[in-house]
Amino acid sequence: MAPDISKIRKDFPILDQKVNGKPLIYFDNAATTQRPIQVIERVDEFSLRINANIHRATHFMANKTTEAFEASRETVRQFINAAEAVEVIFTSGTTESINLVAYSFGEAFISAGDEVIVTEMEHHANIVPWQMMCERHSAVLKVMPFADNGELHIDLLDNLITDKTRILAVAHVSNTLGTVNPIGEIIAKAHLKNIPVLIDGAQGAPHFKIDVQALDCDFYVFSGHKIYGPTGIGALYGKRKWLDQMPPFLGGGEMIDSVTFAKTTYNQLPYKFEAGTPNYVGAIGFAAAIEYIQNHDRQSLIDYEHDLIMTATAKLKQIVGLKIYGDAPIKAGVICFNIDGIHPFDLGTLLDQLGIAVRTGRLCADPVMDHYGVENMVRASFAFYNTFDEIEAFYKALIRLKAMF
């Protein structure tokens, strides 16, 4: 059944406002999504009435926050179908999750001359931590390129993988090209050589049902603020067999079993990777966002988002001089483009004057800019609360602005 978008929009009060005198059209969802009232109220409830640090005291509020925090872990576990809740580590977001894996996996498994594979379309968050890890261990970073249409050259994977490959990291969905990568196929190929795979799900989790056991990925990472939750919270899923062998990332309270000056021993999973006071209010809001999504027919939301991006793509393709970057057969979430003769920043600023929020810039993906030989792009990105009317208004605005140049 088609989702009732006007009813859904009522849950997102922020959408009901004017910007520069025009109704807000929010097309910057790949950067961050808006939060439904259910998430805002849940977070408020814990800030207003039930705030206490978790896992420490025995008083009423501390018990409530501890219970809610661990229940949130269980909600995330169910959302991605992890085998065990201890395989879900709360982090500040995708960036921290990847840094954690790059550091701790590197400490345990990477030696001089070993190789790590990423792809040319990664967000900087899935490049730089691996570069830092390679630098620390004198390892080599190898890059799987993509074709001009935005599809990965996975035919090259067999040549990229060698006896020295130790881990492969790839985006589920590209934040610039919108490509939905064939992660199942990539994981299967890597596993033939016993190579673990990290999936950067920052743009995947918002648009697809995730089943980490069916995917058989070794790590899956994503951010709360990109799936209608608060900022500063995210998740790292890791198979227990890897997490158990990896040393802690940060040291401090909570992650220890016992501390003496002679020797410190570490806590069990997941706490070994959650040093210090975690963002428990964020985790509770994150779970509320997941519950919000789950309370709808998820498949109908996914289908609706697909229709939105297909409609927007078809419309934009009608504009002469507009070039879309990435035309893979399966795309989700984002459309990046430029219009001949208009600087992307001018376009972004003028669209804002019309109440339309898009992202402009290098989109934390310098290698993608280099691939196409451009400095910047404009990105429109969609969520299930966007409408076909908004896409029509966006199309008309682009036609109007183009005529001004």
Ligand X SMILES: Cc1ncc(COP(=O)(O)O)c(C=O)c1O
Asked if residues 291 and 283 have their Cβ atoms less than 8 Å apart, the reply is no
When asked if residue 223 is in the footprint of ligand X (CB under 6 A), the reply is yes
Cβ-proximal residues to 3 (8 Å cutoff; 6+ apart), any chain: 296, 297, 300, 301, 304, 384
Return d(Cα 272, Cα 58) in angstroms, integer.
22
Tell the smallest beta-carbon distance from residue 123 to ligand X (Å).
4
Tell the smallest beta-carbon distance from residue 175 to ligand X (Å).
3
For helices 280-294 and 37-48, angle between their N-to-C axes, nearest 10 degrees: 150
When asked if residue 232 is in the footprint of ligand X (CB under 6 A), the reply is no
CA angle 32, 182, 220 (to 5 degrees): 50
Tell the smallest beta-carbon distance from residue 211 to ligand X (Å).
19
When asked if residue 313 is in the footprint of ligand X (CB under 6 A), the reply is no
Determine which residue in the list 42, 123, 239, 315 makes contact with ligand X, applying CB under 6 A: 123
H/E stretch holding 257: strand 256-259
Determine which residue in the list 33, 34, 95, 381 makes contact with ligand X, applying CB under 6 A: 95
Tell the smallest beta-carbon distance from residue 171 to ligand X (Å).
5
Looking at the DSSP bridge assignments, the partners of residue 342 are: 339
- Restricted to residues 156-185, the positions that interact with ligand X (CB under 6 A) are 171, 175
Residue span binding ligand X (CB under 6 A) among the ranges 118-126, 131-139, 158-166, 267-275: 118-126
Residue span binding ligand X (CB under 6 A) among the ranges 38-46, 73-81, 119-127, 150-158: 119-127
Determine which residue in the list 76, 89, 183, 202 makes contact with ligand X, applying CB under 6 A: 202
Asked if residues 354 and 316 have their Cβ atoms less than 8 Å apart, the reply is no
Determine which residue in the list 94, 119, 165, 179 makes contact with ligand X, applying CB under 6 A: 94
Catalytic pick among 134, 217, 336, 364: 364
Tell the smallest beta-carbon distance from residue 102 to ligand X (Å).
13
Return d(Cα 148, Cα 126) in angstroms, integer.
21
When asked if residue 233 is in the footprint of ligand X (CB under 6 A), the reply is no
Return the SS3 of 90. strand
Inter-CA distances, 156 with 147, 153, 327, 370, Å: 11, 6, 20, 20
Tell the smallest beta-carbon distance from residue 92 to ligand X (Å).
7
Asked if residues 377 and 336 have their Cβ atoms less than 8 Å apart, the reply is yes
Q: Rounded to a whole number, what is the largest CA-CA distance in the chain? A: 73
**Nearest alpha carbon to residue 308 among 221, 386, 395, 217:** 386
Which CB atom, from 93 or from 326, has the smaller least distance to ligand X?
A: 93
Which CB atom, from 66 or from 94, has the smaller least distance to ligand X?
A: 94
Tell the smallest beta-carbon distance from residue 226 to ligand X (Å).
6
When asked if residue 285 is in the footprint of ligand X (CB under 6 A), the reply is no
When asked if residue 99 is in the footprint of ligand X (CB under 6 A), the reply is no
Residue span binding ligand X (CB under 6 A) among the ranges 8-16, 44-52, 197-205, 305-313: 197-205
When asked if residue 93 is in the footprint of ligand X (CB under 6 A), the reply is yes
Which CB atom, from 94 or from 104, has the smaller least distance to ligand X?
A: 94
Determine which residue in the list 203, 338, 360, 386 makes contact with ligand X, applying CB under 6 A: 203
H/E stretch holding 129: helix 128-137
β-pairing, 219-223 with 197-200? parallel
Asked if residues 224 and 286 have their Cβ atoms less than 8 Å apart, the reply is yes
Return d(Cα 178, Cα 381) in angstroms, integer.
9
Which CB atom, from 30 or from 139, has the smaller least distance to ligand X?
A: 30
**217 in active site:** no
Return d(Cα 167, Cα 278) in angstroms, integer.
28
Residue span binding ligand X (CB under 6 A) among the ranges 46-54, 87-95, 280-288, 293-301: 87-95
Tell the smallest beta-carbon distance from residue 379 to ligand X (Å).
10
Which CB atom, from 125 or from 369, has the smaller least distance to ligand X?
A: 125
Residue span binding ligand X (CB under 6 A) among the ranges 120-128, 135-143, 335-343, 390-398: 120-128
> What is the side-by-side strand order in the sheet with 88-91?
88-91, 234-238, 219-223, 197-200, 165-171, 115-119, 140-144
How many residues in the chain?
405
Query: How many of the chain's residues bind ligand X (CB under 6 A)?
Result: 13
Q: Which residues bind ligand X (CB under 6 A)?
A: 30, 93-95, 123, 125-126, 171, 175, 200, 202-203, 223
- Residue positions annotated with a catalytic role: 364
